[in-house]
Structure 1
Amino acid sequence: MTIAVLFGSLALLVIVGVPIGIALGAASVLTIFTLPFLDLKFFALGLVSGLNSYTLLAVVLFTLAGNLMSQGGISDRLLCVAKAFFGNMPGGLGTVTIVACLFFAAISGTGSATVAAIGLAMIPAMCAHGYDRAYAGAMVASAGGLGVMIPPSVVMIVYAVTAGVSVTSMFIAGILPGVLVALILIAFNVFQSRRRDFGFVAVDSSWSAKWDALRRAKLALLMPALVLGGIYSGLVTPTESAAIAAVYGLVLSVFVYKELPLSRVPKVMLESALLVSAVLVIVGASVAFGRIMALEQVPATIAEFSLGLTDNKLLILLMINLLLLVVGTFLETLAAIVILTPILLPVVVKLGVDPVHFGIVMIVNLAIGFVTPPLGANLFMAAQVGNIRFEALSRAIVPWVAVMILALLVITFIPSIALWLV
């Protein structure tokens, strides 16, 4: 009865359009009313303890850093580097676009910011050189998913907090899978560019041009090395590193590049606060939701049921991948992480799957959800910045989703891709 109230009310609230954070909290409160041994103090304590996390400060600060740098001239300089080094490679501007998304992902930590920053510049440029507009938008939307796969990633931090694993380990584990996804996307673009005869634009790739691009972007390219190097060396924690990133982004955008007026900084901070507040509501409400599941032994029951069906690790991982791909089409990524991690992690741990590897598998799955309708946050962003009809973009994204699923299967069944550096 308790489980029916908990999940039934959550599903009903989500269906009628209630924001997921509010739906989680409301479902928890309704369930508490059905349990005589609990009262609303249980929900309040869960909400407070869920947000009282030093690690979660990194989510706030990385979001602010990404917003500051996305509006401070960073993307243009990264694009120049990508063009100088990759502009004359097979795939032309498409390859440049994916590489630029990879660069920007190492700064922004979010998918939608990557799509906005790179898409605004590259979708019109690709269309001017013969690329189909919907194809260009689908490419940017797909490559924008690298924003959550490449560290520093806000989603990785939330998974680490939820699963009780090291943020540093998650960041290290995300490097090779993110690069692998980028290489597979580049290979698909090269194939499509040759098959569809998209226009090729000659780019000055002389060493002087490369050196000039690196000189102009050296401070922007230094940020990932500064942030991630501090974490991996043990000199700073991820939260301290996020603070460094925010200050560095502010100084670079306002005082060095001078492309973000100081008068606009409060607006950027307000936008970041509004974005993060939605995330923190989800995280806080999910703690009470998770504690009710734990009291009712939902994770243990699901683990026993799943292992009763089969103890074949590959088959269970396939089933979980299918579940996550479906969930990603209608549930926001962070909400899926905080709801499903306590349920699925005990299942895979009993099968000997490393929690860090499973976290990467979850994140890649849900990154695919960024580009699958009807939710598809990256699709909506690409449609907006590229002036593309959503229906046309939804059709163009299908082969890109198939390619990303191929990358997902490789990452799922070859754990060393995620764990080798760890």
Structure 2
Amino acid sequence: MSSMTDVIWSAPDKDGIITCNLDVGAVSTLRGRRKRRGSKALLDQVALWPAAWRDLLKEWLKQGRARRKWTNLMSVAGGNRVNEAWQMFDVLLKAGLIEVEELRENNRWQPLWVEFLELEVVRELLGLANRLKMQKLRDDQGGTDFQNPTLAGLLSSLSEMPVERAIRRHDILVALDQWISEGYNGTRRDFALFAQGDTKAISSAEWSWIDEAMPLENIGISQHTPSIWLRAPLSLKADTGTLDLRCVPDCIGLTPQTIGNFVLIEGQVECWRILENRTVFERVARQRGSVDGVIWVPGFAPSWWKQGVTKILNLYPAPAFIACDPDPAGIEIALSVGEIWAGKSINWEPWYMDAEILSNLPKKKRLNSYDINRLQYLLTQPLPETLKELASWIMNNGEKGEQEGISFRG
């Protein structure tokens, strides 16, 4: 945009338009260049324009910089809105909202360039984001303190996004941080209502963005009402009736509310067997669920799972055998689940999580940088001897495994 002091402008004409001749050619040819603009910005006029004009202007201002080629603007308008484009050009000029550079050809002045003045204010009046305000808001968001380091990857990804998207997703992360810290659990709709005040306010793309960084189940958010999957030869009694699990041939899912209603558990199991891999859990549940209690843990146990299993353990205390992937994450999951039993002063042991089991697996995977960092931390902590030996083997050999390759026999 030209500074008003850089060039000599004419006095305003009857429409309030001022003119600056840039490169006037010979008088006989009347060729040259000029700039024109309104002498005063009349922003209050925008709201009074017909909807068709406002829609076209909105399309012009959605993308691009302030300075635009007139031919490009006409292309956006298309052949069916040529008249509206010229009308829009005229009213914008008179309202002091554009500066136009024109070339005189064939005795007529033709627009070459259009520079939108008060661009961000006009965008805002049309319902578009004011990008200057958005950038300031995004800059201010950088000072937010988050309580949960598990959100670090999602936070880092915001720097690669357009400002508007980053602002919205930052707000979602603020709500997610509070959700995790408060130990809430519920469905996707529950979280969307908590975060945005509307059960459908979070898009599928936003859900995928979160879920790819951390499984939603691990932070207390399920696609539907969450369930604890198990099999056991037990009878679960509530004030309203009895649920006999002895008739279940494979496994059954019980919601946290259902488990919360139980007041008594009858029957006999020697132990609880906790398994991380879903396929392995189902296999062991069929094999052992008529004798032992078998429960699936969905990775890093979410709060609702811990609360439900704690309630079961309160009603039927028994030792636990915990089997997770023989890898750094599996060790951490086993320790986290084991804390539930340790908190009740009940014995727990790793199960099929030792160096010999891992070393005999036919297929193993190489460690990544995250694995190595977690291992380095784990090896500084007090670990059950079996898990300490497993962690050392993984570190020394640079390999990890998965439960699906293990044959569970007892």
Ranked by relative contact order (alpha carbons within 8 Å, sequence separation 6 or more), the top structure is: 1
**Between structures 1 and 2, the one with greater helix share:** 1
TM-score (structure 2 length as normaliser): 0.22
Higher strand share: 2
Q: TM-score, normalised by structure 1?
A: 0.22
Q: Considering only CA atoms, is the larger Rg found in Structure 1 or Structure 2?
A: 2
